């Protein structure tokens, strides 16, 4: 007698007699709720989607050896470990995140029981994700749920459900299925535009340059009013450095139909980086993402990102990724684009590449609480895979301070999304993922925490505080007056941002005109440009790239940052946290001093 494993949507006990006949007919499996959320704040039911509305389901299978990958990641990212810099190959990473075969078989049998063929499935290289397109009527049957069209108070629409179920025996074989319970509003992190030709403060200068007392470098006084490539080079002690090492690379991610205009880039180069004129970037489309070159289609977010990241790191080879997918849609135009957060599509794509860029910046994100924890954990694990392969990932920490810098309490979004509507600081994701480097914002010279908007920062409700920041964050918390903001944040959570950079009044070109723009969407690409220069230092000496930065910057390289001690990050009707000596949840460890860091990232002499 042999009893088979229980798989698929039927609980089947197979008794293999000599004749091979079944001893008993199949018994249906009982469904059990896999995930449920409270009706989300700001969303109301708008209607019912058409039965033939198409949903792209992403099924995440367990990664039983992820803890081994995480161990590798921390070893190769620790400057005091003998394996520092020994990054894993694409194939080694895929082996460590692959699901067990019994999970693959169980999911395949379940899908087959609903008439879904192997040819209709798209698998990730590690087979830990399965993607398929199904009508909503079939998705409802598979997940024992009912989808609704939901409308947000800002007019956005999505097709989602507040819970879904799976056959009980499948729970151990599936981590997450989306889109189901995700009500995020994936958005860029940028502040108000100032048209430079209407309010051109670049001409406001005093007559003499001065020495920044924090970094010790000479800075032109115009940098107090307008940030240029030269300002960043001066502020961060990178004047005169010309990268030249082969094998280096830098990348920018683009979403939400934000197009990087090459004519604007050339105008920017003519204005600030004439030696880069006639150079450009490689464009890569993800899931059909476009990059229209009509000047009227130029995106302010994309323009800011590519102009400063690529301008600061020139001539390092640069790539711009445009990922299709805009979750909100109008439910009356047939079957629209209505997917998961598009950065997961980008993750699928970039993880399949043999040589991803070594320094990558993303200026987009969500409120952490609008992303189901199961999904956040899996997306974060994808970022860890890139880190293990030697990629440095920077994410903007957001511009809402500790949650929302809206001064009107009636419209603030500083409440829990669990049905309680309790007041809470709201961390951002992916900045809260412990496997990325979150970048906060500063302004002026000497630098202070940005005040025209507020540098996103705080403590994750999903991710525990990683060991690499335990000492720095514990010191900060110990210095807080007892009871400060008690109950408003998780003092044991992953703390962010990790670092900061200038983030206000960046002079860029948009649709042929100069403008001033700010936000942590400016500080993240600026920091990514500095990381690309640091990679050049290592590569030129035959050393591997930096990879996952955080274990390095919280230890050996901590003294290479300019400590920011003035300012705060208001939000949720409070003044938020204060910038202070050492790490703080406003500016992290501070802003980079390239002159110091380029020495700290090299091996100890001897």
Containing 324, the helix (H) or strand (E) segment is: none
> What residue spans of 262-299 are helical by DSSP H?
262-272
* 345 flagged as catalytic: no
Partners of residue 44 on adjacent β-strands = 151
**DSSP sequence for 220-262:** -GGGGT-B-HHHHHHHTT-TT-----TT--EEEEE-TT-B--H
User: Would you state the structure tokens that stand for residue 353, as one six-digit string?
Assistant: 């590449």
Spatial contact of 450 and 567, defined as CB atoms under 8 Å apart = yes
User: Would you state the structure tokens that stand for residue 277, as one six-digit string?
Assistant: 């004129």
Q: Quote the strand ranges of 117-219, DSSP E.
A: 122-123, 129-135, 148-152, 157-160, 163-167, 176-178, 187-188, 194-195, 210-211, 218-219
Phi-psi region of 289 (alpha: psi -120 to 50; beta: other; left: phi over 0): beta
- What angle do helix axes 520-540 and 300-313 make, rounded to 10 degrees? 30
Of the listed 94, 175, 258, 301, which one is catalytic?
Answer: 301
**DSSP sequence for 373-402:** HHHHHHHHHHHHHHHHTT-EEEEE--SBTT
Between the alpha carbon of residue 567 and those of residues 11, 70, 398, 453, 480, the distances in Å are 60, 35, 16, 11, 15
Residues in contact with 150: Cβ distance below 8 Å, sequence separation at least 6, in sequence order:
40, 43, 44, 45, 46, 157, 158, 159, 160, 183
* 89 flagged as catalytic: no
* Binding site residue list: 563-564, 582, 584
> Cα–Cα distance between 426 and 404 in angstroms, integer?
8
> Cα–Cα distance between 396 and 381 in angstroms, integer?
18
Of the listed 35, 94, 128, 305, which one is catalytic?
Answer: 305
Q: How many residues does the chain have?
A: 606
| Cis peptide leading into residue 501 (ω within 30°) | no
User: Would you state the structure tokens that stand for residue 5, as one six-digit string?
Assistant: 């494993």
* 264 flagged as catalytic: no
* Buried/exposed 567-577: b ≥16 CB within 10 Å, e otherwise: bbbbbbbbebb
Of the listed 189, 521, 524, 570, which one is catalytic?
Answer: 521
* Binding site residue list for Ca(2+): 563-564, 582, 584
Long-range interactions of 405-412: CB distance < 8 A, separation 24+: 405/453, 405/454, 405/570, 405/571, 409/573, 412/572, 412/573
What are the catalytic residues?
A: 301, 305, 521
């Amino acid at each position: 007698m042999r009893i088979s494993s229980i798989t698929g949507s039927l609980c089947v006990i197979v008794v293999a007699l000599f004749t091979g006949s079944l001893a008993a007919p199949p018994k249906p499996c009982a469904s059990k709720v896999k995930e449920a959320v409270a009706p989300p704040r700001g969303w109301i039911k708008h209607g019912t989607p058409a039965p033939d509305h198409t949903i792209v389901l992403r099924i995440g299978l367990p990664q039983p050896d992820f803890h081994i990958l995480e161990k590798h990641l921390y070893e190769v990212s620790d400057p005091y470990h003998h394996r520092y810099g020994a990054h894993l190959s694409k194939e080694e990473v895929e082996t460590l995140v692959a699901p067990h075969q019994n999970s693959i078989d169980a999911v395949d049998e379940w899908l087959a029981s609903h008439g879904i063929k192997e040819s209709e499935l798209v698998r990730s290289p590690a087979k830990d994700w399965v993607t398929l397109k199904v009508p909503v009527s079939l998705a409802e049957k598979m997940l024992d749920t009912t989808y609704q069209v939901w409308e947000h108070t800002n007019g956005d629409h999505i097709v989602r459900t507040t819970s879904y179920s799976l056959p009980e025996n499948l729970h151990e074989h599936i981590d997450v299925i989306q889109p189901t319970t995700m009500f995020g509003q994936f958005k860029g992190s940028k502040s108000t535009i100032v048209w430079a030709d209407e309010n051109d403060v670049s001409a406001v200068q005093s007559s003499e340059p001065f020495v920044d007392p924090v970094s010790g470098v000479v800075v032109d006084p115009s940098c107090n009013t307008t940030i240029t490539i030269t300002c960043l080079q001066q502020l961060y002690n990178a004047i005169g450095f010309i990268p030249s090492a082969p094998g280096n690379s830098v990348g920018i991610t683009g979403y939400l139909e934000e197009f990087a205009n090459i004519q604007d880039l050339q105008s920017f180069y003519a204005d600030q980086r004439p030696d880069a004129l006639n150079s450009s970037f490689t464009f890569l489309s993800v899931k059909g993402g476009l990059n229209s070159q009509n000047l009227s289609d130029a995106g302010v977010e994309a323009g800011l990102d590519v102009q400063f990241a690529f301008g600061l790191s020139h001539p390092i080879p640069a790539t711009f990724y445009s990922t299709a997918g805009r979750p909100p849609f109008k439910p009356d135009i047939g079957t629209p684009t209505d997917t998961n957060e598009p950065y997961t599509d980008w993750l699928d794509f970039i993880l399949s590449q043999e040589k991803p860029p070594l320094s990558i910046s993303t200026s987009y994100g969500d409120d952490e609480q609008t992303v189901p924890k199961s999904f956040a954990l899996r997306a974060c694990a994808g970022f860890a895979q890139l880190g293990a392969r030697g990629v440095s990932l920077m994410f903007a920490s957001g511009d809402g301070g500790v949650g929302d810098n809206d001064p009107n309490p009636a419209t603030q979004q500083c409440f829990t999304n669990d049905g309680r509507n309790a007041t809470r600081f709201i961390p951002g994701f992916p900045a809260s993922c412990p496997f990325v480097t979150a970048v906060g914002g500063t302004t002026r010279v000497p630098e202070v925490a940005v005040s025209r908007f507020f540098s996103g920062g705080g403590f994750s409700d999903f991710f525990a505080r990683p060991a690499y920041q335990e000492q720095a964050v514990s010191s900060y918390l110990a210095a807080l007056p007892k009871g400060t903001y008690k109950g408003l944040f998780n003092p044991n959570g992953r703390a962010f941002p990790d670092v900061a950079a200038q983030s206000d009044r960046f002079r860029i070109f948009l649709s042929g005109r100069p403008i001033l723009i700010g936000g942590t969407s400016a500080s993240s690409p600026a920091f990514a440009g500095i990381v690309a220069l640091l990679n050049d230092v290592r590569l030129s000496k035959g050393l591997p790239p930096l990879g996952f930065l955080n274990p390095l910057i919280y230890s050996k390289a901590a003294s290479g940052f300019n400590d920011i001690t003035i300012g705060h990050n208001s939000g949720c009707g409070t003044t938020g946290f204060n910038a202070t000596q050492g790490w703080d949840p406003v500016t992290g460890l501070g802003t980079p001093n390239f002159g110091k860091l380029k020495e700290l990232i090299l091996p100890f002499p001897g």
